[in-house]
Amino acid sequence: MSNRTRPARARRASAALLALAPLALAACAGTVNLEAAEESNAYACAEISVRLPDAIADLERRSTNAQATAAWGDPAAVIYRCGLPEVGPSELPCFTIDGVDWLLDESDAPRYVFTTYGRSPATEVIVDNDVVRGPDALRPLSQAVASTEATGECLVATDVFGGGSVAPSESPSPSEPPSSTPAPSESPSSTPAPSASPESD
């Protein structure tokens, strides 16, 4: 099994659902319509929500109609939602930003879905990478999420602001394990060369 944990497929369903939201908001500059997560009334979500920034990069925060949610940009390029079930083991790549571990689902690229790992409940952030880079969006949000207690951490995570990258294809790959079957040592030829016979007079 990989570093990063074993598959957690349930998380992707909500991610796929929310990934469509920014497209529907393109023509509307008013309140952003989002769906509250199951545990949006958790105390941890309240702790995060009161610490959310008024702007991300040059994107202004907009009002939303659901608890423990937020959006930035017009149309919305960053969407936040707290209260998802804690993420279990996953094969998704993991990145650490200011002490918070995030799993990345890039299946709907350039709309990336980031979900906290080792936090209960989980926080989900959708970023339109054509508008704002993932690390630039997650850094101020990580500072808010860090106000809650971590319950676990990724076994292997790329430290984005310590020289790593959010692009999985550019992240360092684990060292190659030694071959389970050692190369056979060279054996002598099965047919020995004939020995030289003494020269006859």
Helix, coil or strand: residue 77 = coil
- The beta-strand segments (E) located in 9-145 are 55-56, 59-62, 69-72, 78-84, 94-97, 100-105, 111-116, 122-128
What is the pLDDT averaged over residues 36-59? 96
Residue 155 confidence (pLDDT): 84
Residue 159 confidence (pLDDT): 64
The tally of domains found in the chain comes to: 1
CA distance 102 to 114: 6
Q: Flag whether pLDDT at 22 surpasses 90.
A: no
Q: Is residue 2 part of a domain?
A: no
Q: Is residue 41 part of a domain?
A: yes
Looking at residue 61, what DSSP letter applies? E
Asked whether the beta carbons of 89 and 141 are under 8 A apart, the reply is: no
Convert the pLDDT of each residue in 158-183 to its tens digit. Answer: 765 554 444 433 333 333 333 333 33
CA 184 from chain centre, in angstroms, equals 42
Mean of all residue pLDDT scores within the chain? 75
Full domain range(s) for residue 153: 10-169
Q: Is residue 51 part of a domain?
A: yes
Q: Which amino acid is at 77?
A: A
Q: Is residue 21 part of a domain?
A: yes
Q: Is residue 150 part of a domain?
A: yes
Vertex 53 angle, CA 52 and 54, to 5° = 125
Which segment of 62-76, 136-150, 172-186 scores lowest on mean pLDDT?
Answer: 172-186
Residue 16 confidence (pLDDT): 34
| Tokens 């079957």 belong to residue | 181
Q: Is residue 192 part of a domain?
A: no
**pTM of the predicted protein model:** 0.67
Q: Is residue 137 part of a domain?
A: yes
Compute φ and ψ for 126, nearest 5 degrees: -105, 130
Q: Is residue 43 part of a domain?
A: yes
